[in-house]
Amino acid sequence: MDDGAIEEESGDRWLGSDLAKALRFYQKAYISYKSAVATPTSDRALLLDAHYNAARLLFHVFIQYSKTDGIDVHKLTNVCEVLTGDDNSVVQNISTIVEAHERALQVEPANPPLDLQYNAALVYTEAIEEADDVNEDLLLKAISLFQEVLRRQVMEFQDFLQFMLEPERPTSSEVPSEDQQYSSSKTTQPPDIIETIISAYGLVQAILESVTSAPGQLEYVISLVTPFVQALEEVASETTEKYNEQNNHQEFVAPLQLDQIHEYLVVKTTCQALSTNSYKDACSAFEQIALNIPEWNMLAADSIDTILERHEVYQNPLKAGVAEYWDALTNMNNFLKKAQELLSAKLQETKTKNSTNTEVGLGSLIAQICKVFIARADVDLQRSQLEHDIAKVNSTVLFNNAKAFLKSAINMSKTSGGIREKVVEKAQKERRRHEASSRLCVLERDFDEEELNRTLGKGQWENDFANYRDLWYFQKFFP
């Protein structure tokens, strides 16, 4: 176990600068944890710790290497000993990671660690995201775990409050030992509770995004999650009201930061929007309390996008009325335009405040702006081809706008993220550049294979082009 912890710490240190080297350390750590799992012992705590660490590391690697946008683990160098494809590899698919967490939960089923329950709920959420259809079994398992985690967190916090507010406090000679007394830094606090609620809403969002246009499916999923959401809101409303920075007057209670409250409101509103089958209702959900942050506007546009995709409009525009489709795209564009303005202002402000170019996260911010440019290009490309009066009049302008947005994304992706830019951020910018460049090649009908191999890379552009062919608004550009 100690060897595994040392190797994992080394992996964490290299993660920001060398993904391949970090992965090799993670592989060594995983082998150590697996060895601890296989070692016979009567110590249940030690066995549980081994199972927990092995499952946790699998999920960590999945998030960093398989889930992270722009990263292709198979393109890393000198990782052949990791990508063996067997049970000894630290790179596993989500179903294997689910099984690992379920085995860990069975070591002490009567009293599993809180962190293990929380991680398992997150793993189920990821499995739901990857599923092709609504997976009720995974949903109910995840709901049960989130409910138990939240119950335990609330109980622990309430016990902590009761202890701290007890009128007859012990004198200095009667102070409990360190392992007995409460600590504000170790005990569950309001930010921990809200973080769990945000993750639980992430589960609801994942299952709503998996809904198709099949009759009655949306209503059925809503019936499954409604009691869960109501229970979340009971805790969330009280916690955000009592323990925000303005209302929290207890020095031993960690207040909720505004950014976290915003994150909660964004995911909650996204779930409300996705609980509808109408883009108008989705827009209304985000217009009720318009937050002046990029994430609010990007998720609003994404919600409209999800509803259009739910009805397969991107494969066949006739599945939506022309006027309705135009309005949906126009609303998406308005949200994306606002997000672009806010992100650009944030980037400029960050650069102005930090003239040494050492700010952490600049690369991620640049990649986000690129993503918005690409989304706006897709929107205007669709609008330019609709059989709508406004579209017909402005077709050429909209088409040129689409190409301009793609060129802006390409140029923005070349912007430096500073001397502290992580390798992941560089990969994300590179991915945005590739997405924009491949789209532009299609719009400008640049299909010379030799040139595509040179500019986009052999074996890279083919899959993108195949995906574009499935979208009606790209089809006319292909030979």
Name the 3-class secondary structure at 85. Answer: coil
Residue 244 pairs with which residues in a beta bridge? 256
246 shares its domain with 293 = no
Q: What is the pLDDT along the chain (479 residues), one digit of tens a residue?
A: 889 999 999 999 999 999 999 999 999 999 999 999 999 999 999 999 999 999 999 999 999 999 998 899 999 999 999 999 999 999 999 999 999 999 999 999 999 999 999 999 999 999 999 998 899 999 999 999 999 999 999 999 999 998 888 755 554 444 444 444 555 557 899 999 999 999 999 999 999 999 999 999 999 999 999 999 999 999 999 999 999 999 988 899 999 999 999 999 999 999 999 999 999 999 999 998 889 999 999 999 999 999 999 999 999 998 989 999 999 999 999 999 999 999 999 999 988 887 665 566 899 999 999 999 999 999 999 999 999 999 999 999 999 999 999 999 999 999 998 888 999 999 999 999 999 999 999 999 999 999 999 999 988 899 999 999 999 999 999 99
The pLDDT of residue 298 is 98
Tokens in use for 237? 């409303």
440 shares its domain with 359 = yes
The pLDDT of residue 57 is 98
345 shares its domain with 455 = yes
217 shares its domain with 301 = no
In a domain? residue 358: yes
In a domain? residue 363: yes
307: nearest Cα among 286, 283, 341: 283
In a domain? residue 307: yes
The pLDDT of residue 181 is 52
Tokens in use for 464? 């993108």
328: nearest Cα among 301, 351, 296: 301
Cα dihedral 121/123/124/129 (nearest 10): 130
Structural domain that includes position 415: 276-478
**Domain boundary residue among 275, 309, 329?**
275
- SS3 annotation, 205-250: HHHHHCCCCCCCHHHHHHHHHHHHHHHHHHHHHHHHHHCECCCCCC
In a domain? residue 177: no
The pLDDT of residue 428 is 95
Residue 167's Cβ-side half-sphere holds a number of Cα atoms within 13 Å equal to 0
**Domain boundary residue among 246, 275, 304?**
275
339: nearest Cα among 314, 313, 374: 374
230 shares its domain with 315 = no
CB 255 within 8 A of CB 244: yes
- SS3 annotation, 451-478: HHHHHHHCCCHHHHHHHHHCCHHHHCCC
**Domain boundary residue among 275, 307, 331?**
275
292 shares its domain with 192 = no
298 shares its domain with 224 = no
120 shares its domain with 61 = no
Measured CA to CA, the distance from residue 230 to residue 194 in angstroms comes to 15
In a domain? residue 254: yes
The total of structural domains in the chain comes to 3
Separation in Å, CA 331 to CA 119, 208, 270, 301, 370: 36, 21, 15, 8, 19
The pLDDT of residue 426 is 95
378 shares its domain with 322 = yes
406 shares its domain with 345 = yes
In a domain? residue 133: yes
267 shares its domain with 126 = yes
350 shares its domain with 292 = yes
The pLDDT of residue 168 is 59
281: nearest Cα among 222, 369, 200: 222
In a domain? residue 172: no
The pLDDT of residue 50 is 96
In a domain? residue 289: yes
